[in-house]
Copies of this chain bind each other. A is one copy, B any other.
Amino acid sequence: MKAEIVCIGTELLLGHVVDTNASFVARELAELGIDLFHKATVGDNLQRIQALLEQVWQQADLIILSGGLGPTQDDLTREAVALLLREELEFNEDAWQQIAGYFQKTNRTPVASNRRQAMFPRSGEVIPNPFGTAPGLLVNKAGRILIALPGVPYELKGLWGTFVKPYLLQQLEQQQKMVITSRMVKMAGIGESAMEEKVIDLINNQSNPTIAPYAGQNEVYLRITAKSESKAKNDELIAQTMQAIESRLAEYIFGYDTDNLETVIGRILKQRGWRLAVAESCTGGLLAHRITNIPGCSEYYVGGINSYSNELKIGLLGVPEATIDTYGAVSEETAKAMAEGIKQVTKAHVGVAITGIAGPDGGTPNKPVGLVFIAVSLPDYTRVEKRTFPFDRLGNKEAAAKTALTLLWQELCKV
């Protein structure tokens, strides 16, 4: 099955909104083993939307549309799909029931423009939307599947889980074509080229499974992809390759597939019954934000102090004033005192601290913008690392938080 994603909305072309829907759908299609050849974005212009749909209709078996299902004059997806299918728009009673039901549930009354949202092409079926007013639109015609979803990310993701994914799985089973299975090996503490070098022979000499390297921020991945007539056969092919990869890169592998450093760290802390606390200066809460994105983190995460000012470093974390006076707020010594301080103040087993200069201002020749000290304090010792990142303010914050997670993971694996 070959797929195309089309995102509809002038706001996407004006760059006001980062298009997270396309990446979400791309990731989901990859997991289903559906090949995606292109993603395209077009503005709220009927002629251009139709032209793009005509083109992807020729190229793809599966077309996923995002956006343009709202009640306003700018929402043109229904019209464009009708033009594509050479059908008229008709009032669809199922769609209207779904819209009216949503309004009732949220104690509101539909307005006239909401009736637009119930205008469907004749061969369009309603995808019920429990998350908002706009029902999705499904067309299965002439050997092609077209699925139009609302552009609000929360609604699109919701409908994907409740309807689209189960529907596509059913369609794939009916087709009984080749099955593609993918697994992602996730590593930290090694660069992309160094990682690639260790498995370059596998990458170059293997065609099933294929192995492809990817670089994330402070993380690197290898994607292993097998194709055969069955998932069982794929799993077997992947297992062999996985073994070869693990034997060469074991010390850098922190997880697989949907794992990230935060979830893996959480798992280790829970197993050990340890509690974690953080002290952040330049990252200003970003590390704590990452850690608390994991459901159930309250089992091991106590909390943190965002000691942006020196007063808080001294008053709340107990960093000795002399340490800051002698070595500066951005120093190995202060990072160490912050990590040990937060551990003590919160009675946690593990404390992590970050202090640095995020920029764009505040740098000096000795302590340039991007300089960061990161301390990980375990029950028995504290490790401090120095890094200098070359990014902008947000990039430096993100790199520092990611590096802190990498160091924390490394230390937790040692003890």
Contact = CB atoms under 8 A, between A and B. Distances in A.
A365 interface: no
Interface stretch (A19-27, A91-99, A164-172, A372-380): A19-27
A306 B109 CA distance: 40
A48 interface: yes
A14 B17 CA distance: 20
A345 interface: yes
Interface string A28-61: 1110000011111111000010001000000000
A309 interface: yes
A361 B289 contact: no
Contacts of A43: 36-37
B295 A284 contact: no
Contact of A16 (B27, B36, B311, B394): B27
Contacts of A216: 16-17
A280 interface: yes
Nearest to A223: B14
A122 interface: no
A27 B17 CA distance: 9
Main secondary structure on chain A at its contact with chain B?
mixed
Contact of A11 (B25, B214, B397): B214
B316 A309 contact: no
Contacts of A278: 306
A36 B44 CA distance: 12
A17 B220 CA distance: 12
A306 B293 contact: no
Contact of A23 (B19, B42, B390): B19
Contacts of A371: none
Contacts of A17: 23, 214, 216
Contacts of A36: 13-14, 43
Contact of A214 (B16, B289, B347, B391): B16
A120 interface: no
B304 A306 contact: yes
Contacts of A10: 212
A90 interface: no
A254 interface: no
Contacts of A287: 285
A18 B358 CA distance: 23
B40 A40 contact: yes
A74 to B, nearest CB: 8
A308 B303 contact: yes
A218 B161 CA distance: 25
A289 B291 contact: no
Nearest to A389: B154
A255 interface: no
15 contacts: A13-B30, A14-B27, A14-B30, A14-B223, A15-B24, A17-B23, A278-B306, A285-B306, A289-B289, A293-B393, A296-B361, A303-B307, A304-B308, A309-B346, A312-B346
Closest 5 CB pairs of A and B: A284-B292, A15-B27, A285-B288, A285-B285, A15-B26
Interface of A: 10-20, 22-30, 36-43, 48, 52, 74, 131, 154, 157, 184, 212, 214, 216, 221, 223, 278, 280, 282-289, 291-293, 295-298, 301-309, 311-312, 316, 345-347, 358-361, 390-395, 397
Given A12-B23, A14-B223, A38-B40, 12 more contacts: A12-B26, A13-B30, A13-B36, A13-B39, A17-B23, A39-B40, A154-B395, A284-B289, A284-B301, A292-B358, A303-B307, A305-B316
